[in-house]
């Protein structure tokens, strides 16, 4: 059940959101690193909250769920799901400022006392609401016990939603002050700082406070204690601009991000292409963890093992999938062997150039020459007659017909999400 609202009744700023729903319930939300803080102000003397483990807003779907009322003030649960990534797992613990008066479970539930299990499990909780209801919801990737431990940490000092909101605002202010602009154009400043704010949306922390995390295949592993393991590495989308910006704005967090990529290399055998909750979606082209890590190394950013990073880069360049063997065999990727052949060839060549520069940095002369040679692969797709980068078949002939304005996305296309015009400028942009 969705409750309507008007955008005119919303308030928002970094670290805080509030909305007055059409049913006159006022909702306030703020956040710490691993916990959310809610406040609900109801118009009457009693009010209800519903927790829905089957709810979704996209093509993600629940595969299993659980809700358990531990005591009158505490609810725990989990949601397993599939969709963009397989085997996603989120555990939570919620603490209420007022006791639950009554509750009932609904959905495809298997009831055992105060616990319900099922893919679409839901619980409705009734509270006395003569005063605002505060709720703390803490998360874990490992277990409800870990979520409870995080909740106990979040409760230390009996924080109010106002205190947490002010702390969140200070943290965001620190982020947004990293770049200062001088302008009298208020609209431009709003657009700039809104964009800078959005650069902090991903990657996100995946590990618990003690470094524990769970993989998509149910392995409970340990990241470096005192460090954060990150997830949501959408490398094709970010390697050109966002991650180079991180070498300026996120110098403290960037080593943890790179160590998270190296941890995925340890766990999965390759650097991430498109990671979410340790699941490799393998979406889009290139092996673009390479330029991200290379950029940091060549700028002298420390805090991770350079030799291990190089080992991982080299492994990606010789992987036995994603068209790499044919790219190595032919010196370009033939269109009759693999779709998106122009995009992949150009991006692999760029990634190989990045490896060559790291090899040079580390004094690996043979590898420097090897990858510099591979980086020249883009030249094999340049058509001097048209001036564009074009696909070839395995016999070395350009694919016909050719339209430099045709925008393609499907797997059989020669370019991904772009035209020959755009892809032919790839190396100039790099």
H or E element, residue 38: strand 35-41
* pLDDT above 70: percentage of residues in the chain: 99
Place of tokens 């052949």: 341
Q: In this structure, are strands 274-276 and 233-234 parallel, antiparallel, or unpaired?
A: antiparallel
Rg (CA), the chain: 25
pLDDT in tens, 375-416: 999 999 999 999 999 999 999 999 999 999 998 878 889 999
pLDDT in tens, 222-240: 999 899 999 999 999 999 9
Res 190: pLDDT: 96
Q: What is the average per-residue pLDDT within 95-118?
A: 89
Contact present, 63 and 69 (Cβ < 8 Å): no
CA distances from 428 to 244, 293, 344 (A): 17, 21, 16
Within 8 A by CB and 6+ apart from 375, the residues are 349, 350, 352, 353, 356
Cα(65)–Cα(29) distance, integer angstroms: 24
Res 429: pLDDT: 47
Res 57: pLDDT: 84
Domain edges within the chain: 32-159, 202-319, 323-430
Q: Is the pLDDT of residue 428 over 60?
A: no
Q: Is the pLDDT of residue 1 over 90?
A: no
Q: Is the pLDDT of residue 187 over 50?
A: yes
Q: Where residue 179 falls among pLDDT bands split at 50, 70, 90? A: very high
pLDDT in tens, 326-381: 999 999 999 999 999 999 999 999 999 999 999 999 999 999 999 999 999 999 99
Average model confidence (pLDDT) across the chain = 95
CATH topology of domain 202-319: Glutathione S-transferase Yfyf (Class Pi); Chain A, domain 2 (1.20.1050)
Res 152: pLDDT: 96
* pLDDT above 90: percentage of residues in the chain: 91
Q: Where residue 59 falls among pLDDT bands split at 50, 70, 90? A: confident
Contact present, 223 and 211 (Cβ < 8 Å): yes
Does 323-430 carry CATH code 2.120.10.70?
no
Q: Where residue 430 falls among pLDDT bands split at 50, 70, 90? A: very low
Does 32-159 carry CATH code 2.70.98.10?
yes
Contact present, 354 and 290 (Cβ < 8 Å): yes
Q: What is the pTM of this model?
A: 0.94
pLDDT in tens, 71-90: 999 999 999 999 988 889 99
3-class DSSP state for residue 343?
helix
Res 427: pLDDT: 62
- Measured at the CA of 243, the angle between CA 298 and CA 278, to 5 degrees, comes to 110
Q: Is the pLDDT of residue 308 over 60?
A: yes
């Amino acid at each position: 059940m969705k409750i309507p609202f008007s955008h005119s009744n919303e308030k928002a700023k970094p670290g805080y959101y509030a909305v007055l729903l059409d049913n006159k319930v006022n909702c306030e939300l703020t956040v710490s690193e691993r916990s959310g803080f809610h406040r609900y102000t109801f118009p009457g003397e009693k009010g209800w909250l519903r927790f829905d483990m089957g709810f979704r807003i996209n093509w993600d779907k629940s595969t299993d769920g659980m809700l358990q009322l531990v005591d009158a003030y505490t609810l725990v649960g989990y949601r397993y799901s599939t969709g963009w990534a397989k085997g996603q797992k989120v555990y939570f613990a919620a603490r209420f400022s007022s006791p639950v008066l009554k509750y009932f479970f609904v959905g495809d539930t298997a009831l055992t006392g105060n616990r319900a299990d099922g893919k679409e499990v839901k619980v409705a909780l009734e509270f006395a609401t003569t005063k605002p209801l505060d709720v703390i919801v803490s998360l874990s990737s490992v277990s409800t016990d870990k979520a409870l431990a995080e909740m106990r940490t979040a409760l230390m000092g009996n924080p109010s939603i106002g205190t947490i909101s002010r702390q969140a605002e200070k943290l965001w202010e620190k982020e947004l002050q990293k770049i200062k602009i001088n302008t009298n154009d208020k609209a431009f400043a709003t657009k700039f700082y809104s964009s800078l704010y959005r650069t902090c949306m991903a990657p996100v922390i995946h590990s618990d406070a003690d470094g524990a995390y769970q993989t998509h295949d149910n392995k409970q592993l340990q990241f470096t204690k005192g460090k954060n393991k990150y997830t949501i590495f959408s490398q094709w989308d970010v390697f050109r601009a966002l991650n180079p910006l991180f070498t300026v704005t996120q110098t403290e967090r960037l080593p943890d991000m790179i160590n998270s990529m190296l941890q995925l290399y340890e766990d999965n055998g390759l650097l991430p292409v498109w990671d979410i909750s340790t699941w490799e979606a393998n979406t889009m082209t290139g092996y673009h963890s390479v330029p991200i890590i290379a950029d940091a190394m060549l700028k002298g950013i420390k805090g991770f093992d350079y030799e291990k990073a190089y080992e991982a880069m080299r492994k990606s360049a010789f992987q036995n999938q994603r068209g790499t063997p044919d790219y190595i065999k032919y010196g370009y990727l033939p269109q009759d062997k693999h779709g998106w052949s122009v995009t992949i060839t150009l991006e692999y060549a760029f990634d190989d150039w990045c490896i060559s520069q790291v090899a040079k940095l580390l004094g690996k002369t043979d590898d420097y020459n090897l990858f510099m040679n591979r980086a020249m692969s883009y030249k094999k797709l340049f058509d001097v007659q048209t001036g564009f980068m074009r696909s070839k078949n395995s016999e070395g002939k350009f694919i016909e017909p050719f339209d430099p304005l045709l925008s393609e996305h499907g797997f059989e296309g020669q370019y991904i999400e772009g035209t020959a015009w755009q892809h032919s400028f790839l190396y100039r942009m790099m």
